[in-house]
Each structure stands twice: as structure tokens, then as C-alpha cells.
Amino acid sequence: MEISHNYVKYLKDNSLVVILETGFKLAGGFLAFMISTSLFLALSGVFKLYLSFVFYGIAPRWNLLLMTFLLVFSVYGINKLTDLNEDEINNPERVGYIKKVAKVLKYAIILSLILAIVLSALSSPWAILVVLFPIASGILYSIRISPQYPRLKDITGIKNIIIATTWANGTTFLPYLVAEDVPLSKVALIYYFFFMKSMINTILFDVRDIEGDRINGIKTIPVKLGFKKSKMLLVMLNSTFIVWLLVSYYLGYFDRYIPVLVFSILNGYAYVLYFAKEDYKPGKSLDIWVDGEWFYTLPLALLL
């Protein structure tokens, strides 16, 4: 009886282990798919825009949130399709996913672009300009129009500025279009917050991709500066938020969200120091922590 009881217990215990292992594998595969196809980043962009609405003190507009999701998915999807050579070295797992769904992804990107433009046109004439900017810059960023001219991503620092500007434009100005009587000083502060966050994050991702960029002759900021100087630069950029926070507090903006903003600044220091290492290969953890920042920052702001 004792042997039979132990055997049954062994089967139950191992069945649980198998179920857990299967669950983790499925969850890991789903997350890898979401990150590889830019769906994760598109959802993060929605949370980011929602937080901007919170900073403005107005209710979010579902059409602008949906438009942002479609726009981010399509623009970054184009970049994923054109970056297969670099990613063979930097992120071979992502290349594997992209190649499997390349055909479907192309159609999804085209459809998303069309829907994003339609939604922007229905929202506001100014919203169309906000949408067309990332589309145009995304094409120039990812595609070489002529052999005589480089892609934006091949110009040191320019690609980071373009990415940060694109994120800041959409995240700041889309809520501003439906807001009323917002001081321009507050708009400028919101713009700087999202611009600098994106600037830091895009340079940090270049640190991760430094090996593949070097091999492919892409002269990113980390390729030019190296690991140590890149880390110093990122810490300095994140430190500008301290001055930004003091100015915001002095002007009486975002008072109720000060704890969230302090957390965001400290979180920036944490992931810069953690990931900007020469001997560290972050994999998906970088995407989850950095691109996924808004998944946990927004709920904290809503709690307040």
C-alpha cells in the first residue's frame, strides 16, 4: 500500500511539474511572439498615451488609443522586416519569428497603416499630421531611398532623436488636441518627459545591439562611444529629470503624481545601470523592463 501511495503521489507531483513547465513554455513563446512582432511595443504605446492623458487631467479617447496601437505596430513592423540582417546577430530568435510570419505581417502592417490614417482623419486634421510624421520618418529610418543617401538609422545620433521626437509628438500632442486651456509650459514639460524617456531607452537598446551594429557598419552612439561612456551619457540624461521634476513642482504641475514620477526616475537609473554592461546579454528582459515600463507606471498613476 505504501509503495502504491508513493507511486500515486509521484505521478501527481510530476504531473504538476509537467503542467507548470508547459505553461511557462507557452507563456514564454507567446511573449516572444508579442515582442518579435511589435505587438508588445504597440500595447506599451497605448499605456504610454493613456498616461499622457492622465498628466493632462482628461479622459482618454479610445479612437486615439487605437490609432496609436495601429501606428506603432505598423511603423515598428516595417523596421523589423528591414532589419533582418542586423538581427541575425543581435536577436536571432526574433528573426526566426519574423521569417515565419513575414507574409502575414506585411499585410497586417499595410492594413494597420490605412486604419491609423483613417482614424486620425476622423479625429482631427491635426491628428493626420501627427500620424504622417512617424510614417514618413519610419520609412526614412528603415529604408534606403537611394544608394547616395543613408538611412536615418545609419546616421549617428539622428535615429535616436527621430525615434524620441516621434514618440514625444504622438504622446504629447494627441491628448493636447482634445484638451482645453492647457498652459504651453505644461505641454513643454510633458513633451520633455516623453522625449527624454524615449531617447534614453532607444540608446539603451543600441547598447544591446552594439555587436551586430558594429559588424553591419551602423555607427550608433554606443558604437562610437563604447560601453562606459554610453552608460555615463545615459545616467546624465536620466539625471536631467531631477531638474525637470523641480520645475514641474515649482509650477504646480503633476503634484499628485510626484511619487510616480520619482519612481520613474529611479526606475530609469535602475535599468540603465543594470543593462548597460559590456558582458551582459539581456535578451527579452530588456524589452519587458524598458519597453514594458508603462505597463506598471500607468497603474501606479491611476492609483493616485
pLDDT beyond 70 at 126: yes
Which one-letter DSSP state was computed for residue 155?
Answer: S
Residue 46: inside a domain: yes
Q: What's the pLDDT band for 210 if we cut at 50, 70, 90? A: confident
pLDDT at 89: 58
Residue 7: inside a domain: no
Top-confidence residue, 219 or 65: 65
pLDDT in tens, 131-150: 888 777 766 766 666 666 66
Q: What's the pLDDT band for 30 if we cut at 50, 70, 90? A: confident
Residue 5: inside a domain: no
pTM: 0.85
pLDDT beyond 90 at 249: yes
Percent of the chain with pLDDT over 90: 45
Q: Range of 282's domain?
A: 17-303
pLDDT beyond 60 at 3: no
Looking at every residue in the chain, the average pLDDT score rounds to 84
pLDDT at 253: 95
User: Rg of the chain's alpha carbons, rounded to an integer?
Assistant: 22
Residue 6: inside a domain: no
What gap in Å lies between CA 195 and CA 204, rounded to an integer?
14
pLDDT in tens, 221-245: 988 898 889 999 999 999 999 999 9
Of 28-32, 40-44, 173-177, minimum mean pLDDT range: 28-32
What gap in Å lies between CA 3 and CA 8, rounded to an integer?
9
Residue 103: inside a domain: yes
pLDDT at 131: 82
Query: What is the domain count for the chain?
Result: 1
Return the exposure string of 121-132: e unless at least 16 CB atoms fall within 10 Å of the residue's CB, then b. eebeeebbebbe
Residue 3: inside a domain: no
Residue 1: inside a domain: no
Which is nearest to 141 in space by CA: 123, 130, 127, 155? 155
Residue 258: inside a domain: yes
Of 5-14, 190-199, 216-225, 226-235, minimum mean pLDDT range: 5-14
pLDDT beyond 70 at 16: no
What gap in Å lies between CA 160 and CA 286, rounded to an integer?
17
Q: Exposed, middle or buried, 29 (CB in 10 Å: 0-12/13-18/19+)?
A: exposed
pLDDT beyond 90 at 40: yes
Mean pLDDT of 14-40: 73
